[in-house]
Amino acid sequence: MNIEKLRAYCLNLKGVTEDVKWGNDLCFLIGGKMFCVTSLDGEPSVSFKVADADYDELASSISIIPAPYMARNKWVQVQSWDRLTGEEWESYVKQSYELVKSKLTKKLQKEIDAA
């Protein structure tokens, strides 16, 4: 995985928008809520929300840490592109997308699904 592939994958999900926040972080959003954030400069780092059941295992593994400022919401930060396989990247990013989408209003969820 790399930033170009991550961007293409995220933007292929229904209703996703992107925005640059804090000067150098590329954020992917669903319904205005972030589900994936990656640094545009420096060392690779990608943060995303994970299921409660996966959080402890992932957050304590090599090259993955609790995401700064977002750990309380069960976000992790992957600090190396090669830490996960392509399939794992897609699975975790999709899971994050679905977790965040599920917290949106039912009306907004229906609008996204219908688009």
| pLDDT of the residue at 23 | 87
Fold classified for 3-110: Aspartate Aminotransferase, domain 1 (3.90.1150)
Banded pLDDT at 92 (limits 50, 70, 90):
very high
Q: Are strands 33-39 and 64-66 parallel, antiparallel or unpaired?
A: unpaired
Q: For the chain, what are the domain ranges?
A: 3-110
42: left (phi over 0), alpha (psi -120 to 50) or beta: left
Grouping H, G, I as helix, E, B as strand and the rest as coil, residue 4 is helix
Q: Which ranges in the chain belong to alpha helices (H)?
A: 3-11, 52-59, 86-101, 106-114
Q: What is the pLDDT of residue 41?
A: 85
What strand order describes the sheet that includes 75-78? 16-21, 25-30, 33-39, 46-49, 75-78, 64-66
Q: Kindly state the percentage of the chain with pLDDT values over 70.
A: 100
